[in-house]
Structure 1
Amino acid sequence: MNLKEMQELINSCEDSKAEILSKMNDLSPILGSDSAGQITQQYASLKEEYDRYSYRIDTIREIMDKTIKTGRPSLGIGKTVKITLPEEEWTKISQIIEAGQAASVADYFRQLHQNQCQ
């Protein structure tokens, strides 16, 4: 089941909960006058069904939270660095990036660091 299908299922469960809640609200005013207990049983049954839908929604949301992966995987701890270089050096770095040897300025300096550490 993909995320879209999970969301559609949540929406369907939410609609069902709303219908059940409406029925429960209709029964609430007459609960006390139910001498045979049928309305009370019906209300309890609706409450159980409502709780089952709530549980399903919570379970699906937990699965979605575990499934959703936002952004790219972390490469490490990010820190802001300001580097001053002559214009010619920035031009060389830009050419390296344009040639596809680095994905970005950050990637260029990451590669430079990795090469120094080897």
Structure 2
Amino acid sequence: MANPASPFLPVLILFLVAAVTAAAILILSGKLLNFLKPRNPQAAKLTPYECGVPPLQTGARHKYSVKFYLTAMLFILFDVEAAFLLPWAVNYKHALWTFWAMLSFMATLLVGFIYAWGKGAFEWER
């Protein structure tokens, strides 16, 4: 009589090899990187690179303008719009209802775009 767990033995071996490999990579990377990295820190090398401009404030806890977040949300909104438009543009011939669904989606986004434009969301400096 054959062992009932024998069909799963290759899967178990694969999981063990993966776990050992992951552990070895994590252990060796920490040790080898500390051993191989150069040890000549300089003030210029320790400062964060901000497009060639020295940082104005120290630390990461400083206030951003609300316009930054509003611009980011508008970017995400129109990025999602582009993500929805691509499948529709590829497959719109197969179902007419997708045309009307996308038209209503675009109309809703157009209303939001006009509202954001009217509120001055696209003007960085006021």
TM range (shorter): 0.3 to 0.5
| TM-score normalised over the length of structure 1 | 0.41
Q: Which has the larger radius of gyration?
A: 1
TM-score after normalising by structure 2: 0.39
